Amino acid sequence: MDTQRGHTNRRRFLLIAGLPLLTVGAGMTYLLWPEPRTRLEVRTDLEPLNRRLGPFLGELTDAHWLGYDIDDKGGDRGIPSPDSRIRVVGLARLPAGGAAAITGKPDHAFAAGGAPSDLPAALKQYLPAAATWQHSPGFDAYANGRGAAEQPSDGTPTGRYLFDADRDLVHFDVLYLFT
């Protein structure tokens, strides 16, 4: 009978002492857990863009862009996918006459392209309202093929490029698949 009473007292002590410790531990975990990413920061650095897009666009300047994993849920703590899809989207200025030089090549057959679609909200303020965008599926195929051949470590790109020759602007929306 005394041995059972000792077990009951020990359980009561562990419950009374352990409950506050568990509560403090849960509270500290909550305070120290990283916040989910709710907003993307617009980037203006040029080196990553010029490394990936420069070989077929020329030296880019005055860029506003985003680069992010489109499968990232922010605060999701699941097992990461073996494949990641990185979206690089934004606007940049080409050297003087650079857009006209690209759109003027007859082998790409550029035509009116309409405004960029599915532009993230953070970039909309940098999109000129009166831009006259031109697009060429042939140039997209050229740029995507050239990027895959020259930059195998940077993933396999699929992208769409729009040009405004009056402002020497390029809008790029490229998806890199890393396997």
Q: Is the pLDDT of residue 177 over 50?
A: yes
Q: Is the pLDDT of residue 153 over 60?
A: no
Type of residue found at 11: R
Of 110, 116, 128, 108, which is closest to residue 62 (Cα–Cα)? Answer: 128
Q: Which residues on adjacent β-strands are paired with residue 87?
A: 68, 175
Confidence grade of residue 19 (pLDDT, cut at 50, 70, 90):
confident
Q: pLDDT above 70 covers what percent of the chain?
A: 76
pLDDT, tens digit (0-9, with 9 covering 90-100), for 117-138 = 889 999 999 999 889 999 999 9
Of 143, 138, 63, 141, which is closest to residue 107 (Cα–Cα)? Answer: 138
Q: Contact at 8 Å (CB) between 131 and 169?
A: yes
Type of residue found at 147: G
In a 3-state reduction of DSSP, which class is residue 102? Answer: helix
